[in-house]
Amino acid sequence: MKERIERLRDEIRKHDYHYYVLDSPLITDREYDELLAELKALEAKYPELVAPDSPTQRVGGEPLPSFTTVRHRVPLLSLDNAFSREELIEFNRRIQARLSPEEISYVCELKIDGVSIALTYENGILVSAATRGDGVVGENVTQNVRTIRTVPLRLRDPVPRLEVRGEIYIAKEDFVRLNREREEKGEKTFANPRNSAAGSLRQLDPRVTASRPLKAFIYDLLYVEGPDIRDQAEVLEFLRLQGFPVNPNWRLVKSIDEVWDYCQEWRERRHELDYETDGVVVKLNPLGARETMGVTAKSPRWATAFKFPAEEKETRILRIELNVGRTGVITPTAVMDPVLIGGSVVSRASLHNFDLMREKDIRKGDWVLIHKAGDVIPEVIRPLVEKRTGMEEPFPVPERCPVCGATVIRFEGEVAYRCDNINCPARLKESLIFFASREAMDIEGMGPAVVDQLVDRNLVQNVADLYHLTLEDLLTLEKTGQKKATNLLEAIEASKSRPLSRLLHALGIRFVGGKTARILAEKFRDIDVIATLSEESLMQIPEIGAKIAASVVSFFNEPENLETIEKLKAAGVNTKEAVAAITEGPLANKTLVLTGSLESLTRNEATELIERYGGRVSSSVSRKTDYVVAGTDPGSKLDKARQLGIPVLTEKEFLELLKGNS
């Protein structure tokens, strides 16, 4: 029976490789299902014969309590970027300065826009999979990676130990299908394929990961015991023969001119691919020559990433809508024919302000060229004047607010046009949404849909009215039952105890962001004291200039704002900084720098915690820095910290340090 089970496993592995990696199935889906069903039945009957590399082990196990950390044996360095032919030539010049001409050749590979992963195999069996993290320490996602069909659980020609690096991604077609399914279920859709891959890989429940269409490309050999491999071309062939999915579009070239040709070819052809690529990775081919070139603290000197310009698409402006923000700023927004760009469908783009719209000469009905600024935010680059028919219409600056009809004003020295009505429903809605947001009063469940109904039904006229809502009020809202209404009331009640700094930020005082709000709260400790301050006394604080001081004084001179504050106090909302900063403990009087993205905290929340425990947050690393807290995808601050010998904390270590302060 053991032999039959092994034969079934080998047969299924062969078909997995042909189906998922080569995309050339040898049997029908039904025949494959029959093989897998037989293997499952035999393993159920003989559980002592179940092996970790069996194809049946891809379904995902029980949920994990959390991810453990893994220290990479070989650091996963990031790459320097090149954005032009000149920068590629300069990269080549630096290599020519250290190597002889016969040592120089390059391998060009497409840069996959996914999530970096390191895989470790022992005696041919997958034993570990870890995210890149900060390049030195990542997260153990082995159970999740086991569910990815293109990642082999067993190598074809086992070696004692093998470590490889690759990219986890979701194909464009799979991304569209995944979002369509989530939309049909009423679930939030993903912004782009990379985000969906990252979110799917970091699920604590491997069964969720198993349900997502994740794929992989493996492109680098970090460590191997056994074969003598001399160059990157041999690396890719070795990986392919071991059963890894290797992107077939790589090319070995002899000169930087050929590198440029490859980059230009795939810049034009990238739309043919069923996965997102944002550039080309250029690697020195001979491995021995790489050792001569060496590495910096952050990146290898023997490789660079040529980044493609942002993808551009043509579409047509159907209409221009006006949106009114919480400070009354009126922003024109282009509503366009939907177009797929950068992995997501775009149908709206801010035109920012009327001066810029006039400068670009953007009109209703125009065909326009759009891209994603920073590969994230949709932006109209320019109108396609050559496509105009004469039917396009310039869009005038409104004289009246599009929502309440109040006069539109413009302050001297500003580009923004504003609604002059402080009671404008649109301004009120945006103010309420901001007030309830996570970085402000953090009222869970108080989103735009709820706020719209509260204002439209005249249940709320200002932010203080939120604290006078009843269960009966909330039960009148659409799609709000007893449980949802009760949870929302509890969230409103919980927000009453937020620190004074949160309240000051939430009130939306112009130029007073989270940092300034914390400074004011720490310095004066009572909103009534802050309300009486003069511009001169405020400007005694080094971080507060004339513009902020004038804005704070102006806010507290408005009777309507003072009335709102009195209502908040009457409702029991905290308006004092109750606890002084801690002067003893691991963070007291320490300077910390944050870099990268934290998983459990926003940047504002982390800053708030540090300051609450007596520390301060700096925006730059220097010899006076006590700790650097490094999340995922950290920047150059991490490199500088290592150069200066400053202690670097992972998010987990940072949270442990806070516990020591509690």
Strand residues in 171-262 grouped as ranges (E): 214-224, 251-253
Helix residue ranges per DSSP H, 130-225: 142-145, 172-184, 193-201, 206-210
Q: Is 111 marked active-site?
A: yes
d(CA 126, CA 46): 23
Is the Cβ–Cβ distance between 368 and 386 less than 8 Å? no
Q: How far is CA 43 from CA 12, 16, 53, 301, in A?
A: 14, 19, 13, 50
- Pairing type for strands 627-630 and 591-595 reads parallel
DSSP bridge partners of 281: 109, 305
d(CA 435, CA 439): 9
Per annotation, catalytic residue among 14, 111, 254, 515: 111
With CA atoms as reference, report the closest residue to 126 among 248, 8, 4, 244.
244
Straight-line distance from the first to the last Cα atom of the chain, in angstroms, rounded to the nearest whole number: 59
d(CA 535, CA 539): 6
With b meaning 16 or more CB within 10 Å and e meaning fewer, what string describes 493-504?
eebeebbbbbbb
Residue entry with tokens 């015991």: 225
Which residues 6+ apart lie within 8 Å of 432 measured at CB? 446, 451, 454, 455, 460, 463, 466
With CA atoms as reference, report the closest residue to 131 among 121, 143, 139.
139
Q: Can you tell me whether residue 655 is helix, strand or coil?
A: helix
Is the Cβ–Cβ distance between 58 and 153 less than 8 Å? yes
Active-site residue list: 111
